[in-house]
Structure 1
Amino acid sequence: MGDGRDAMAQARRSAPPAPDFTLRQLAYLVAAADDGTIAAAAARLHVSASAISDAITELERTLGAHLAVRRRAHGLTLTTAGAHVVAQARSLLAAARELQTSLAAADGELVGPIAVACYPTLAPTVLPPLLAGFAAQHPGVDLHVLETTQDGLVGRIESGEVDVAFVYDRLVPGNPRRARLFALPAHVLLAPGDPLAAQERVPLEDLVDRDLILLDAPPSSEHILSLFAARGLTPRIRQRVASYESVRTLVGRGLGYGILVQRPANAASYEGFPVELREIEPAVEPVGVDVIWSAEGTPPPRVQALLDFATTIDWPRVGGATG
């Protein structure tokens, strides 16, 4: 008995001391860094601005480093030390959340939130099997969906705000890990009465002097324009729209042609007008659709389960991905 008590006492004496700062202080610093101002962070977290300011001041005192420059008119700017602390704090806060979540789960059950980002043009293809199939397998997992363009995704994987994202393989922001899900080439969309609809394949040279309804949502717009640029062509853009259904609707009305990657199973526009799909001649390189996630650390089990689920779906057979 004595030996056991001595061993326990020795373990207590050799255990590393607890840090003098708190997770709350780290969370407030990260929030202020993300929002750019203490006032914005306070409003989002429903606390007073003074609480956040005092927490950052105390954290600076404890760490012995100046972490942020605070200017009333210009918000908050991290110092080099502050940027280092914020990067480390994200990992610590994520680990703390995972600890809390894991204790709430029954043996073998996956629980907790997953933040899923998706380009709006991919959402009709990607979201149904995730929200139906994956949710049915893991009812304890709460999927939070964010539809955003490429520009809106910048930094969100790295910050931990987004766990996984479904994106086109071109111009992916950051340097995340990724897995290919499927790939499809862009095609031409025409009204049924268009003379070019009589052809099985359509050269871009036959389109360049016609009215283009451009899907103006990065990276789709860049990809479409690059197809023309690769052949030394400049399309005549009649209208720029933000959704592929708008492209299909205007094409169905006979107001121009479109170039899309999306291949909905429904061959009619939103208004019910038929549209014709024709491949591009010569064939263009397919656009890949990837799932991406953070390159830092190992994904939590529930996120890994979602990645495994996504990579085992027969995507070309899923509704919106078929031609």
Structure 2
Amino acid sequence: MVATACPFLRRALLYVPASSTRMLYKSLSLSCDTVIYDLEDSVTHYAKIDARDALNQHLSQLTERPASISEIAIRVNNARSPYLEKDLRLAASIPLVDTVVVPKVNTIGDLRTVSHFLKNYENKYYKEIRTKPVRVIALIESARAVMNLSNICQGPRLNGVIFAAEDFALDLSLTRTPDMTEFLYARSAIVTAARVENVPSVIDLACTLYKGGDELAQLEEECRGGKALGFNGKQCIHPSQVKTVQRLFSPTEKEVEWAVRVNIASKKATAAKIGAWTLDNKMIDAPVSARAAEIVKKAGECGIDVDGLREKWKDEEPQ
């Protein structure tokens, strides 16, 4: 069964190589929605076991999650890897680990394999220390995965999907361009499939440009484009990207003010049995009101002063 809710605000998901002691230590001082400790792509084959041991030591010494981090996740190795079982056992054995990110998910069978191991570890070995099951986020990285999205999004424990652009480009022999039109079909398909199955988090590709002078403009453009397509977060490969990503995947001041006005007037319209109405010369109907309610909810989660705006616009009326 797909997870139907997410208690975490996932805007920025930052990868931290588990093979780097320095980066493991630094990660504790970061302010980021989700920190993903990586045992896969950023760790060479020869360093896999050492990286897992280092991550185990790093996480085992934590008595609580840093206040500036909402979610701790581990990117394990893929469902066909000889490292998977021990990666998952590590995740299950650490109560502070909320989520595993599973790479190269091609079918729902990959998620069933992961869920099977997690269930066994949680019930047989770590029942006394885990208060909740480990959630799963799937990385979509291939043409096969895109064709199987409908089934993948019904996978057990699934709480989010991520588009991995570089591996997808490799699989299809694509050339990545600044406007990313070559990824439009896959990105739209991922968002659509996730919405059909109520998967709560849909995370966009990583911006690979993080230094050189043009990195901020490129990152901002990618964030705005991803948000417009329906993604609600973005992967980060460097701490310098996190602040921008979290800002741009939060509602803007203008969006929140509009949404609060719609929300207030919509309640009055409902009480007066009015269906469609107007605000600022634009029609407001049920879908628009529902969208406004989503924005208000997310604004509150992002720490925006929604109550202050409600007081400011308390006299708003449907027109």
Give yes or no for TM over 0.5.
Answer: no
Question: Relative to total residues, which structure has the larger strand share, 1 or 2?
Answer: 1
Shorter-chain TM-score tier: under 0.3
| Structure number with larger C-alpha Rg | 1
